[in-house]
Amino acid sequence: MKYDFDTQVSRYGTDAAKYAGLTGAEGELLPLWVADMDFPAPPEVVEALQKRVAHGIYGYGDFTNEAYFAPLQRWYSERFSWKPQREWLVETPGVVFAVYNAVRALTGENDAVLIQEPVYYPFARAIRDNGRRIAVSPLVFEGGRYRIDYDDFERTIEEEGVKAFILCSPHNPVGRVWTRDELTRMGEICLRQGVKVIADEIHADFVRPGHTHTVFASISPAFADMTLTCTAPSKTFNLAGLQASNIFISNEALREAFKREVGKTGYGGPNILGVTACQAAYEYGADWLAQLKDYLEGNIALVRDYLAAHIPQVKLVEPEGTYLLWLDCRGLGMAPKALDDFMYCNAGLWFDDGPMFGKGGEGFQRLNAACPRATLEEALKRLADAVNAL
Ligand SMILES: Cc1ncc(COP(=O)(O)O)c(C=O)c1O
């Protein structure tokens, strides 16, 4: 079956966060910020949901059945050579929810938690909101690519007394897919320093040709033993609003500590439509995902080539994974606030502003390229017109 990613489906009036607060005419401002896609979920998932909705009874959900777990386990073992076990699974209504609870489970008040900025901004919030200290080992941008400064990574752990590290793998927003070697080096430092790892691998399915996602916990039993692996079908199949995510923790003591924190929030179990969607997505979504990834390759090429040809002041940081594009806008010579205003007011584009992601974000903007090509063409034209009008 050939899937359609070209049709522009209006999300106005559908309670979409991406469009929240937009008061102008449809299309006046193009929202290309939050990380969900402007594509409908796989038709196989929509069909499973329709069937579930038609049943009419929407009581409490259960995700412990084999029909839920088997496709999930198969997905990870076939694609990532990692076979999570049923007893490792803790269901949560989202990865951010899991990160918040993991921070409390693994650390005490005022303990330091390490992140690698620029990075997905809820990490810093999860640390701050839980009364922990943020320790930053910034990524180094060199020759158009981000790398890890391992000396700084270990020094920061020692100096700040870091107890846990939130790993973003693949990395949002810089688009790095960490190699096995990079993950191993970070993991060895964490092992040596007794630092636990919260591995957010939500973007694992969006890895571009030539790159491989390695599940951090799969590298060695010692790594697995210190790690919580956060996964979800939400980015891959565009299901974020259904709030289903799967957290795998093989270490029983860590799992129990995590469950205790989740329990304290009063969370009572999964959304039944999330359960249905997750199951159908991992069972039937592989072809759709393969075609989606091809389509996204075209979108990424369009942005890269258009910028090079028409807006050389803005450069694409070539992503290795994710559908989020990190644009180096420093060539426009604007102060951070002015740059964001320029995108919003002059170009009519709603991107995520670089400084939101912390240190190293100044002069950058994040563009979500998971939209029909025509939307992206319109966005690029708006950007070119605004830059030319300067
Ligand atoms: C790295 C990362 N983690 C987590 C999330 C959100 O996860 P959830 O919606 O399951 O809380 C996102 C969404 O953008 C993300 O990029």
pLDDT at 380: 98
**Phi, psi torsion values for 136, nearest 5 degrees:** -120, 130
Residue 63 has pLDDT above 90, yes or no: no
Q: Which is the closest atom of ligand 1 to the Cα of 35?
A: 14
**The token pair that represents 298 in the structure block:** 């075209």
> Cα(168) to centroid of ligand 1, in Å?
10
> Cα(385) to centroid of ligand 1, in Å?
32
| Predicted confidence (pLDDT) per residue in 253-279, tens digit | 999 999 999 999 999 889 999 999 999
Average confidence (pLDDT) over 24-31:
86
Residue 10 has pLDDT above 90, yes or no: yes
SS (H, E, C) 19-34: HCCCCCCCCCCEECCC
Tell me the pLDDT band of 27, cut-offs 50, 70 and 90: confident
Q: What pTM was computed for the model?
A: 0.98
| Predicted confidence (pLDDT) per residue in 99-149, tens digit | 999 999 999 999 999 999 999 999 999 999 999 999 999 999 999 999 999
pLDDT at 62: 86
In the chain, % of residues over pLDDT 90: 94
Domains of the chain with CATH codes: 17-41+286-388 (3.90.1150.10), 48-284 (3.40.640.10)
Residue 79 has pLDDT above 90, yes or no: yes
Ligand 1: residue of 33, 172, 174, 202 to mutate (most ligand atoms within 8 A of CB) is 202
pLDDT at 387: 98
| Predicted confidence (pLDDT) per residue in 292-337, tens digit | 999 999 999 999 999 999 999 999 999 999 999 999 999 999 998 9
pLDDT at 371: 98
Residue 205 has pLDDT above 90, yes or no: yes
Residue 75 has pLDDT above 90, yes or no: yes
Single-letter code of the amino acid located at 112? A
User: CB–CB of 376/303 below 8 Å?
Assistant: yes
Ligand 1: residue of 120, 171, 228, 356 to mutate (most ligand atoms within 8 A of CB) is 120
**The token pair that represents 144 in the structure block:** 């158009």
| Predicted confidence (pLDDT) per residue in 143-184, tens digit | 999 999 999 999 999 999 999 999 999 999 999 999 999 999
Ligand 1: residue of 96, 242, 271 to mutate (most ligand atoms within 8 A of CB) is 96
In the chain, % of residues over pLDDT 70: 100
In this structure, the residues whose C-beta lies within 6 A of any atom of ligand 1 are 35, 94-96, 120, 168, 172, 200, 202, 232, 234, 240, 245
